[in-house]
């Protein structure tokens, strides 16, 4: 890391030391003991422009406070019927870890219907999953490997996708765009696999490309099937 980058981090650190206590508390939930690495994430998202990065970070912290994100893990989806409906129609979960130690989250886009509950319930579920990843899964992976792990791999499985069910892709795009807005600067690796017709998959790719704005650092790769290279990359392990 060059001198200019180190100076940008130092300047942003100084600004963050002056924020009010409520912002400081929610910021601690974001960085989980790794403030420098977190600042680098945000700086990258704003091309190392310190004033723009500070504005973006403060906006993110204010959003967390206004929406009580710090307490969202303590507020389950209710009633229980709604929780079960979301789980049955939004198929996703932690599948394992890559050989580099990155958490791998699989999303069954093709078989998820997103039609059993309101959009608000799905968004709540999505944010809860993100918070659990950022505040539990990633810190555990960091501790296990003895190095900072602040990113994950997402696999979007399009198996079972039908052209008549394209609305579920739009819902997933909304949720993924929401995640990027909630976790500005997060480096997310996304692997998409499918067995749908080619013309359907091009629509999927267009929807996802629109959801992931160029200002965010991410990797978006598409595979028609699990090739040997993909399997070699994952080599899942379970803790």
Going from N- to C-terminal start, the domains of the chain cover 3-66, 81-234
The rounded distance, in Å, linking the Cα atoms of 208 and 149 is 25
Q: d(Cα 144, Cα 102) in Å, to the nearest integer?
A: 11
Task: Indicate the CATH number of 3-66 among 1.10.8.20, 2.60.120.380, 3.40.50.300, 3.40.140.10.
Answer: 1.10.8.20
Q: How many CA atoms lie within 13 A of 127 on its CB side?
A: 21
Q: Which pLDDT value is given to residue 187?
A: 53
Q: How confident is the model at residue 232 (pLDDT cuts 50, 70, 90)?
A: very low
pLDDT (tens digit, 9 = 90+) per residue, 74-125? 999 999 999 999 999 999 989 889 989 999 999 888 888 888 999 899 989 9
Residue 75, Cβ density class (10 Å: 0-12 exposed, 13-18 middle, ≥19 buried): exposed
Contacts of 195 (CB under 8 A, 6+ apart): 158, 159, 224, 225
CB under 8 Å to 39, separation ≥6 — which residues? 9, 12, 13, 16, 53, 57
Do 77 and 86 form a contact (C-beta atoms < 8 A)? yes
**Average pLDDT of the segment spanning 64-68:** 95
**Res 113: pLDDT:** 87
Q: Return the pLDDT at 163.
A: 62
* Residue of higher predicted confidence among 56 and 218: 56
Of the pLDDT bands very low, low, confident and very high (cuts 50, 70, 90), residue 138 is very high
Q: Tell me, what's the pLDDT at 216?
A: 41
Query: Is the CB of residue 39 less than 8 Å from the CB of residue 80?
Result: no
Residue 49 has pLDDT above 80, yes or no: yes
Largest Cα span, the chain: 55
- Name residue, tokens 């990065």: 53
Q: What is the pLDDT of residues 145-186, one digit of tens each?
A: 999 999 998 888 878 877 655 565 566 565 665 555 555 445
Instruction: Write down the pLDDT at residue 86.
Output: 94
Q: Assign domain 81-234 one CATH number from 3.40.525.10, 2.30.30.280, 3.10.105.10, 2.60.40.10.
A: 3.40.525.10
């Amino acid at each position: 890391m060059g001198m200019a980058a180190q100076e940008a981090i130092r300047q942003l650190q100084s600004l963050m030391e002056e924020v009010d206590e409520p912002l400081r508390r929610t910021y601690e939930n974001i960085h989980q003991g790794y403030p420098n690495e977190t600042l680098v994430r945000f700086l990258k998202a704003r091309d190392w422009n310190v004033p723009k990065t500070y504005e973006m970070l403060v906006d993110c912290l204010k959003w967390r406070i206004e929406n009580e994100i710090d307490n969202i893990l303590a507020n389950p989806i209710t009633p229980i019927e709604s929780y079960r409906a979301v789980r049955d129609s939004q198929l996703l979960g932690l599948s394992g870890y890559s050989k580099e130690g990155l958490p791998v989250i699989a999303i069954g886009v093709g078989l998820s219907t997103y039609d059993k509950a309101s959009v608000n319930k799905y968004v709540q579920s999505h944010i809860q999953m993100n918070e659990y990843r950022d505040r539990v899964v990633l810190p555990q992976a960091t501790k296990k490997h003895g190095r900072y792990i602040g990113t994950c791999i997402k696999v979007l499985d399009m198996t079972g996708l039908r052209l008549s069910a394209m609305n579920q892709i739009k819902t997933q795009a909304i949720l993924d765009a929401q995640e990027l807005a909630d976790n500005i600067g997060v480096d997310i690796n996304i692997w998409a696999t499918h067995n749908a017709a080619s013309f359907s998959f091009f629509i999927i790719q267009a929807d996802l490309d629109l959801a992931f704005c160029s200002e965010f650092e991410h990797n978006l790769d598409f595979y028609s099937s699990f090739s040997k290279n993909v399997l070699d990359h994952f080599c899942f392990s379970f803790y």
